[in-house]
């Protein structure tokens, strides 16, 4: 019994050693720098490094801009996750209702969006909504309207790009779960006169709860640490930093302002938040495994 319990860890040991070697030292350095007075002067060797303890965190938490960026990050993450799940689940249901050729075409188009690098997809979206040459403004008759000038429209533009490149994972995963639902269950709902929405809400969603929980947690992790889309599409965080999220905020503190210790402190805060989400994710995975 004891050997069987440790067998999975034996197989996982090589991967854990590699991941530990790749992650342990950077995380240690991140935590160490967050406890020091580490600016361009220290990087250049001109001044001695001073140990500040939790002073950087006290300075960070007393800064109103940090809390504004944190709130914006949480709201933006929630919007991205909601949009991704809504589009992904709707298209997953659609896949079950179309013939083989349209289904294959939709699958190929979705996987193409998913495989597109973030910087490439962001650049394409910036061009599509360009106020001077973008086809979207021409089709909508908006003239030289700039989508990135206003805070909400800029966030909305980035949100659409994030949903575009993220929904295929949800769509394919949920579609696989729908195909595993017994046909007689869906036929019974159809015979009872249930609409597509009612079938999804009362039949599919409860049976797909384990899958929906997993894709939701993973989407939260991915969307919370978004950097490329915001940085590329809003030119580093928008006008006067109106479109900053935590990852871009940390980058600006560390490299634009040379406040490496504050940037590291933001990184530690993000790490702790994502660690909490990951622990919830692992706990849910374990619970679903026990139920199966």
Condensed to tens digits (0 to 9), the pLDDT of residues 164-193 reads 999 999 999 999 999 888 888 888 887 877
Q: What's residue 1's pLDDT?
A: 45
Distance between CA atoms of residues 245 and 70, nearest Å:
7
Give the pLDDT of residue 282. 78
The architecture that CATH gives domain 69-257 is: Orthogonal Bundle (1.10)
85-112: buried (b, 16+ CB within 10 Å) or exposed (e) per residue?
Answer: bebbbbbbbebeeeeeeeeeebbeebee
pLDDT 10s per residue in the chain (292 long)? 445 678 888 888 888 888 888 888 889 999 999 998 888 887 777 776 788 889 999 999 999 999 999 999 999 999 999 999 999 999 998 998 889 899 999 999 998 999 999 999 999 999 999 988 889 988 988 888 899 999 999 999 999 999 999 999 999 999 999 988 888 888 888 787 777 788 888 888 888 888 888 899 889 999 999 999 999 999 999 998 899 999 999 999 998 888 999 999 999 999 999 999 888 887 877 776 555 5
Which residue, among 166, 151, 137, 153, has the nearest Cα to 228 in the 3D structure?
166
pLDDT at res. 141: 83
The per-residue DSSP string of 240-279 comes to GGTT--HHHHHHIIIIIS-BHHHHHHHHHHHHHHHHHHHH
| Continuous segment of H or E residues that includes residue 103 | helix 100-115
* The pLDDT value given to residue 105: 93
Q: What is the pLDDT of residue 199?
A: 83
Instruction: Please give the model's pTM, rounded to 2 decimal places.
Output: 0.87
* Paired residues of 257 in beta bridges: none
Write the pLDDT tens digit of every residue in 8-29.
888 888 888 888 888 888 899 9
Measured CA to CA, the distance from residue 124 to residue 229 in angstroms comes to 11
Residue ranges per structural domain of the chain:
30-62+259-292, 69-257
DSSP 200: I
pLDDT at 48: 63
């Amino acid at each position: 019994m004891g050997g069987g319990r440790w067998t999975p860890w034996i197989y996982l040991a090589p991967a854990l050693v590699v991941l530990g070697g790749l992650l342990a030292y950077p995380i240690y350095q991140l935590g160490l720098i967050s406890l020091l007075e580490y600016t361009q002067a220290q990087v250049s060797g001109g001044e001695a490094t001073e140990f500040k303890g939790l002073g950087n965190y006290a300075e960070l938490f007393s800064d109103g801009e940090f809390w504004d960026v944190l709130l914006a990050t949480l709201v933006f993450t929630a919007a991205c996750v909601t949009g991704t799940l809504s589009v992904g689940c709707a298209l997953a249901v659609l896949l079950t209702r179309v013939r083989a050729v349209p289904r294959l075409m939709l699958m190929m188009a979705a996987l193409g969006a998913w495989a597109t690098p973030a910087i490439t997809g962001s650049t394409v979206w910036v061009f599509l909504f360009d106020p001077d040459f973008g086809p979207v403004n021409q089709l909508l008759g908006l003239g030289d309207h700039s989508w990135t000038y206003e805070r909400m429209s800029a966030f909305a533009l980035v949100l659409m790009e994030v949903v575009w490149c993220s929904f295929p994972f949800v769509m394919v995963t949920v579609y696989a779960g729908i195909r595993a639902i017994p046909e007689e269950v869906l036929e019974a709902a159809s015979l009872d006169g249930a609409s597509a929405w009612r079938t999804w809400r009362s039949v599919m969603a409860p049976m797909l709860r384990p899958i929906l929980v997993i894709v939701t947690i993973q989407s939260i992790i991915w969307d919370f640490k978004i950097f490329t889309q915001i940085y590329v599409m809003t030119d580093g965080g928008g006008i006067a930093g109106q479109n900053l999220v935590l990852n871009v905020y940390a980058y600006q503190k560390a490299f634009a302002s040379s406040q490496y210790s504050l940037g590291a402190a933001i990184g530690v805060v993000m790490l702790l938040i994502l660690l909490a989400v990951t622990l919830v994710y692992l706990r849910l995975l374990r619970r679903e495994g026990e139920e199966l």
